[in-house]
Amino acid sequence: MPDEFNMSMRKFLKQVGVTSQQAIEEALRNSDAAGKTYSVKAVVTIEELGMTHEVTGEIKGDA
């Protein structure tokens, strides 16, 4: 893949990771998250390509 593609892909994924972490941390701070486990799902969609990618997992609140 061309360098321009790789750079734009990395920039997008970094933005997704950083902003998602910030949003999750804020939501946990504003809740009673101690010791609880939350199901989480991330969805990336490229409508023009008809592509949807889902990642699921769990996040545990601080004890």
Least Cα distance to 60 among 42, 40, 38, 41 occurs for: 38
- Please write the tens of the pLDDT for every residue from 17-32: 999 999 999 998 888 8
**What pLDDT score was predicted for residue 55?**
97
Q: Count up the domains in the chain and report the number.
A: 1
**pLDDT above 70 coverage of the chain, percent:** 97
- The whole-number average pLDDT for the span 20-47 is 92
Q: What is the mean pLDDT of the chain?
A: 92
**What pLDDT score was predicted for residue 31?**
86
- Give the range of the structural domain holding residue 34, as residue numbers without chain letter: 3-60
Q: Give every CB contact of residue 63 below 8 A, 6+ residues apart in sequence.
A: 34, 35
What stretches of the chain show up as alpha helix (H) in DSSP?
3-29
- pTM above 0.85? no
